Chains A and B, each alone.
Chain A
Amino acid sequence: MSSPDSAPAGVIHNIGYRGYDGERLSRRAITLALYTHGLRGAFGLGRAARSKVIPMGMAVVMLLPAVVLAVVAVVGEQMGQLSGPVVPYTRYAMILQAALAIFVAVAAPQSVSLDLRFHSLPLYLARPLARADYVRAKLTALTTAVFLLLAAPLLVMYLGSLAAGFDAASETADVAQALLGALLYAAVLSSVSLVIASLTSRRGFGIAAIVTVLVLSYSIVSSMQGVIAFDADDPTTAGWVGLFSPMTLVDGVQVWAFGVTTSTPAGPPNDLAGAAFLLTSLAVVALGYVVLNRRYRKVKV
């Protein structure tokens, strides 16, 4: 056991217990502190080195193609072969969805499964922090993390386009649209993953479940869209099928709201469908919040 604090003559002064009269922050500030803690944790900051591998790895995987595309834009324009970016901003998330999926599948359990596994929730809830604050902090932190992961490469591509001298106005408009899309992607993906992660205290199982849901749903939806749109020549139904996977859902909203070309075999066929896509996206986020709240109200304290 450690030795008690004794005072060898005159060198160490046992100052005894000091009370704390300083500032005590409000509930909002505390929630904000939990938010920053969560945001940093999603990227492995403030934790062991090996937990930085996946987040940073995925960040690199997300950024590299964007850098390449930016360089291609500049070079291609100089060679007179390009007048606009090779890949539309709004398509980037879809192309790199594997990296997104892995990032969020690792970050979501890291955020919530550990507290469940070690039964640490009472330590939080016995403090001036409500359950809803805890949920809100975790949700917004993960959403911000995913948004940053998507926004950085978009901005890199944008800078490349500017450097290449493409029409600044239209590029700015395009990237702004894509950033809004990125926000929706982040919200939907975070919502879905946190709900799944909060259902299990086992981190590995949470990771597997989240990836299964995200990847499998996309695989199924896009295959079926392909078959229905091209073989059965029914792009309308194929468009509606896009509701059933998070990635195609948000892409559908981008197609309808911004008029960009679809990154799936078939986008929402009309305004009704487009509105349905938007409402469904928002409903997924809202529902996720509600489910998380209910889950944490039932957690054994």
Chain B
Amino acid sequence: MNRTIIRLTAQGMLGGRRLWLLGALAALILVIAVATRLLAPGSPADGATVLRTIVFSTFLPLFGLIVGTGAIAPEIDDGSVVHLLAKPVSRHTIVQSKLVVAVGAVVALAVLPTVLAAVILGTGAQTVLAFGVGALAAGAVYAVLFLLLTLLTRHAVIIGLVYALIWESLVGSFVPGARNLSIQQWALSITDAIAPAGVVAADVGLGLACGLIVAVLVVGTWYAGNRLAALTLATED
């Protein structure tokens, strides 16, 4: 880990407008939790459903997209990544330092609000823990994936959006086999494993899910380091 890179990435990712957006998203989760609790004091199971739908299928993928691309896209965009690459720092160290910031942002602004929301909604302690761990898993995997995507193509954001919106939302509904390829489902398996039975329904076996998560994290980070080493810059949009 390189402290300077961590600091610079944090400044770039969390400076100004991005921080507003991320903070607003985090606050939104809390507002939803409070509003749902006030307006529909039903059973905690419904609260869990609301949280699952909103957080896992929409909030976390988008959050991961903003944070994963935000870790390096600004530098590629304005060309200052050249300065970064000119330093005698291992490319893998660079990637790992950036991911530290990304995952840190995920923990602070995504996992924490999710946990708080679950508490507000009155779901049991086990469920709260389950959601927290699941959110952490999903957030981390999304961050790694989208960071890698940013290094692979200039259209990372659009592709990421298509994945997050279309794949993640539709996949769950229509194509059973493809669920194994949905990050959302992997995270939900973990959540299902920790939470009391019946709170969350998961379609991917726990072992497979954990394996896939770890695989993506490790391989993704390593491959991103390689791609960074081979990065070429273009001048126009």
Contact = CB atoms under 8 A, between A and B. Distances in A.
Nearest to B46: A231
Given A205-B157, A232-B40, 10 more contacts: A202-B77, A204-B156, A207-B161, A208-B161, A212-B62, A212-B66, A215-B58, A223-B49, A231-B42, A231-B43
A219 B57 contact: yes
B74 interface: yes
Interface of B: 17-18, 21, 25, 28, 32, 35-36, 39-43, 46-47, 49-50, 53-54, 57-59, 62, 65-66, 69-70, 73-74, 77, 156-158, 160-162, 165-166, 169, 237
Contacts of B59: 216, 219
Contacts of B41: 232
> Main SS of the interface on chain A?
helix
A223 B50 contact: yes
- Sort A-B residue pairs by CB-CB distance and give the 4 closest, nearest first: A232-B40, A231-B42, A204-B157, A219-B58
A42 interface: no
Nearest to B154: A204
Contact of A106 (B28, B39, B158): B158
A54 B158 contact: yes
A138 interface: no
A211 B36 contact: no
A215 B73 CA distance: 22
Interface string A205-241: 1011101100110011001101110011010010000
B15 to A, nearest CB: 12
A237 B17 contact: no
Interface residues of A, number: 32
A227 B50 contact: yes
Given A204-B156, A208-B69, A231 B40 contact: yes
A227 B52 CA distance: 13
A224 B32 CA distance: 8
B40 A215 contact: no
A188 B69 CA distance: 28
Given A227-B46, A232-B41, A98 B77 contact: no
> Main SS of the interface on chain B?
helix
B69 A204 contact: yes
A281 to B, nearest CB: 22
Contacts of A98: 165-166, 169
Contact of B40 (A54, A209, A227): A227
Given A199-B17, A215-B165, A220-B28, A208 B66 contact: yes
A234 B50 contact: no
B54 A220 contact: yes
A106 B237 CA distance: 14
A231 B66 CA distance: 33
Contacts of B77: 202, 204
B105 to A, nearest CB: 14
Interface of A: 54, 98, 101-102, 105-106, 114, 117, 199-200, 202-205, 207-209, 211-212, 215-216, 219-220, 223-224, 226-228, 231-232, 234, 237
13 contacts: A102-B161, A117-B237, A204-B156, A205-B157, A207-B157, A208-B66, A219-B53, A219-B57, A219-B59, A224-B32, A224-B36, A224-B50, A227-B36
A114 to B, nearest CB: 7
Contacts of B43: 231
Given A202-B77, A219-B58, A102 B162 contact: yes
A208 B62 contact: yes
Contact of B17 (A200, A207, A228): A200
Contacts of B17: 199-200, 205
Given A205-B18, A215-B58, A216-B62, A228 B158 contact: no
A106 B165 CA distance: 14
Nearest to B29: A220
Contacts of B28: 216, 220
Contacts of B169: 98
Contacts of B160: 208
A223 B40 contact: no
A208 to B, nearest CB: 5
A228 B47 CA distance: 11
Contacts of A234: 39-40
B213 to A, nearest CB: 24
A203 B35 CA distance: 33
B47 to A, nearest CB: 8
Nearest to B16: A200
A215 B62 contact: yes
A219 B25 CA distance: 13
A202 B237 CA distance: 10
A117 B236 CA distance: 11
Contacts of A200: 17
A212 B25 contact: yes
